[in-house]
Structure 1
Amino acid sequence: MGGAFLAAALLARLGGRIGLPTIPLFILAGILLGPHTPGIVLLSDPHELEMLSALGLVLLLFYLGLEFHLDDLKTGGRKMALAGGAYLTLNVGAGLAFGFALGWGTSEALVLAGVLGISSSAIVTKVLVDLGRIGNPETRPILGIIVVEDIFLALYLAALQPILSGADSLSAAVVDGGKAFGFLLLLALAARYGTRIVGRFVATRDDELLVISFLGAAVFVAGVSEWFGVADAIGAFMVGLMLGSTASGDRIRTLVHPLRDAFGAIFFFAFGLSIDPGDLPVVLWPVLAAVALTLVMNVLAGLAAARIHGFGPGPAANIATTLLARGEFALILATMAAGAGLDQRLSPFIAGYVLLLAVLGPLAAGRSPLLARLLPPGPRTPATPPAPARESVPTR
């Protein structure tokens, strides 16, 4: 673990001097020091960092919830639902069509629909923080799309589980989907009406007790969410949503920063450990085709979301590039597909696809003004002025 931190820090320092974002460098550190490349091997089994990696994802999404306000959901819920629906329709639909076009099988096509359709919440959060865009007006629809994706994710996994396990029981899929949806509804009601109670629970002048309280709440709810078939990330997000509106919200945002950054680095390092570069040449052309398709669909989805919110080409480019990366969910699907005995090409395809977009996504987000020049002009009405950012992060 110490070697993972030091390797990630060293590569990030070197890359920072030439303007590279930290995410692909953390992943590269995992690839170079993992079991699939020659030389020093810090960890022969990537699962040894599984719990720490999960904690990194939880903290990244918890922080995202702290920056997202209930007022945003109340005032822009309809637009967020439309933007999220448009994003999923374009990307999941394209992924399903691509899966059938490959001819690997129906189950494989259903898996690829999720792989190509769902963004990486962890990478999206890190990009927004690194580029100092938390306070930008287009960040609200970006976070709204992430929330819609997570809701879709719970229902999608519930429907996919019987297919991957070979079960033919429709009732089991309905029960799992209902359980996940019910828990999501419970979380939403708690976020809407339970903020005052949660605020009293964590209220303390002692920073040590405050850290233990919010960390325990985020991890506990994330674990319960996973038990109900809901992504652990969405549970942590909802806890952050509640705590961000309490009197302790500003202190929590300050105290969670070092935890978020440290364990977020472990998450991306562990992500790199799971990638075997030797498997990638077999699926190189399908991977490149899928990456190109995702680029096109994200640009179209960015334009659609910007039009719904009345934004111009600049915010549209930011939306398209920020949501481009694929990550943790795709790797979960790869593990499920391997366990179900699906086509052996599926796992290396997902690894190569995710690796390329994990690198291209942050790079493209940092150069989104270049894309904005190529997009059609937006509406003439001025967009909503940006909200003041709580965290001042220099743009790279």
Structure 2
Amino acid sequence: MHLAETLMALGGAFLAAGLAARLGRRVGLPTIPLFMLAGLLLGPNTPGLALVEDPTEFALLSSLGLILLLFYLGLEFHLDDLIGGGRKLLAAGGLYLFINVGLGLGFGFLLGWGSREAFVLAGVIGISSSAIVTKVLVETGRLGRPESKLILGIIVVEDVFLALYLALLQPVLSDASGFAEAAQKFGIAFGFLVVLTAIARWGAGLVGRLVETRDDELLIVTFVGLAVLSAGVAEKLGVSDAIGAFMIGLILGSGKAGVRIQKLVHPLRDAFAALFFFTFGLTIDPGDVMSVWLPITLAVLVTVVGNLTAGTLSSRIYGFGPEKASFVSLTVLARGEFALILASMAAVAGLDPRISAFVAGYVLILAILGPLAVSRAELFAVGLEKVFGRFLPERPELTGNEDGDAPPAEKKGQNQAFEGISTKS
């Protein structure tokens, strides 16, 4: 493709993604599935105008979107959040992951697509979308309530699991021959993770002073360079570039410049992440998605059941009744960016091509179904009370005040457990 054609295609991609998202917001839909849909409609696998005939031409820019997305997730996560949440948070988040990731792994093996594919599907089905979850909390006006802090706590635990999961998944995707090679590759990934975690815990201040500058332009150039360089070093070591981007975000987010970096990277993240989702949509063949409609349908049902179960049991740890348990369960139902990241990694690793089609259809459905279901949480609460009534408090739920906070009697037992959990923007 010539330069003029490349620029036209790239501009058209950004414009199409933006217009699709604007239309979707008018009906209350999240942006991620709409970016994918725009790529699908303007890709080579559907009739009509094709902006890009070969999606690999966007591979580098799409990778930059992935790096900035993971970098931002790292910025959002703070080690103090996990420590401040206490045992209740670890129990609730761990229970949520155990149920959903376990169901995803079992579902993956039952599909019979392969062992490596099953481990990928465990993450796809088990981990929710931070972007969509945060968006739902903001739009429902419940960000300051106790149940929302539990939701954010689950996201924090998922972030920790994400880093460990990617480290474990790397030798699986590389198809290591034998236990020794797999252990070596996992050791490298885990060691890399431990070193960067130690820097984030004890050396973030030093790194922060090295990058700190009053000039926003220089700060942007510096942190983008660090994010891309860290991703490249991780890839060179045989570790996922996603780990490198996530961990350097964790390190910079723990320093004094973390808040400024988070604000400055936000528009970059949005622009290039949109291109990442759009490019993923370019690779989707509707015929391939329809060929796996049954696994997609079953996976959606498994996810709904798993989320309602895990959300209810996690809510019980905090003494929440059916209404709050329903809100918790449905808010974390949506799947999005991490599922697409895993699908891209699976494609690069040469795994079963059906995974990309499966993830595309699965994410499209849940990214739309999740926010819509939250608006009907009270209806699900009735069902939860019938099914899980024995596990939930019998007392009537208290309602929050006009400011979105729980009443004093309810807040008293919650503030200590959630102290330290920061809201994500």
Which TM bucket (shorter chain)? 0.7 to 0.9
Q: CA RMSD in A?
A: 3.4
Instruction: Report the counterpart of residue 398 of structure 2 in structure 1.
Output: none
Residue pairs, 1:221-232, within 5 angstroms: 221-232=230-241
Pairing 1:264–2:273 present: yes
CA distance, structure 2, for counterparts of residue 105 and residue 263 of structure 1 = 32
CA 169–42 in structure 1, closer or farther in 2 if over 3 Å, else same: same
Larger radius of gyration: 2
Q: Identity of paired residues, percent?
A: 54
* 1:279 positional shift: 1.5
Instruction: Report the counterpart of residue 217 of structure 1 in structure 2.
Output: 226
- Contact 1:92/1:114, CA 8 A, preserved across alignment: yes
Equivalent in 387, 410, 424 of residue 382 of structure 1: 410
- Contact 1:60/1:122, CA 8 A, preserved across alignment: no
CA 245–282 in structure 1, closer or farther in 2 if over 3 Å, else same: closer
Pairing 1:321–2:321 present: no
What secondary structure does 1:324 align onto? coil
Amino acid at match of 1:357: L
User: For 1:336-388, what per-residue CA distance to the aligned partner results, in whole angstroms no more than 9, with x for missing partners?
Assistant: 57x25x5x655533433233234334444566565456444569873535889
Instruction: Report the counterpart of residue 27 of structure 1 in structure 2.
Output: 36
Amino acid at match of 1:192: R
Equivalent in 152, 157, 165 of residue 169 of structure 2: 157
Pairing 1:42–2:51 present: yes
Residue pairs, 1:230-241, within 5 angstroms: 230-241=239-250
* 1:190 positional shift: 0.7
Pairing 1:298–2:307 present: yes
CA distance, structure 2, for counterparts of residue 252 and residue 132 of structure 1 = 26
* 1:128 positional shift: 6.2
What secondary structure does 2:292 align onto? helix
Instruction: Report the counterpart of residue 74 of structure 2 in structure 1.
Output: 65
Equivalent in 237, 254, 264 of residue 255 of structure 1: 264
- Contact 1:120/1:328, CA 8 A, preserved across alignment: no
CA 191–367 in structure 1, closer or farther in 2 if over 3 Å, else same: farther
Instruction: Report the counterpart of residue 156 of structure 2 in structure 1.
Output: 144
* 1:201 positional shift: 1.0
Equivalent in 283, 297, 315 of residue 274 of structure 1: 283
* 1:97 positional shift: 2.6
Equivalent in 182, 197, 207 of residue 188 of structure 1: 197
CA distance, structure 1, for counterparts of residue 235 and residue 197 of structure 2 = 16
CA distance, structure 2, for counterparts of residue 362 and residue 227 of structure 1 = 39
CA distance, structure 2, for counterparts of residue 132 and residue 35 of structure 1 = 40
Higher alpha-carbon deviation: 146-155 or 170-179: 146-155
Higher alpha-carbon deviation: 170-179 or 70-79: 70-79
- Contact 1:67/1:134, CA 8 A, preserved across alignment: no
Q: Give structure 1 stretches of 5+ with no counterpart.
A: none
CA distance, structure 2, for counterparts of residue 263 and residue 179 of structure 1 = 29
CA 59–365 in structure 1, closer or farther in 2 if over 3 Å, else same: farther
CA distance, structure 2, for counterparts of residue 272 and residue 301 of structure 1 = 31
How many residues of Structure 1 are paired with residues of Structure 2 in the alignment? 387
CA distance, structure 2, for counterparts of residue 186 and residue 389 of structure 1 = 24
* 1:101 positional shift: 3.3
Higher alpha-carbon deviation: 213-222 or 134-143: 134-143
Amino acid at match of 1:149: F
* 1:274 positional shift: 1.8
CA 78–154 in structure 1, closer or farther in 2 if over 3 Å, else same: farther
Pairing 1:2–2:11 present: yes
Higher alpha-carbon deviation: 151-160 or 265-274: 151-160
Pairing 1:86–2:95 present: yes
Instruction: Report the counterpart of residue 389 of structure 2 in structure 1.
Output: none
User: For 1:116-174, what per-residue CA distance to the aligned partner results, in whole angstroms no more than 9, with x for missing partners?
Assistant: 33445565566667777776523531332322331342343145236xx4x54110001
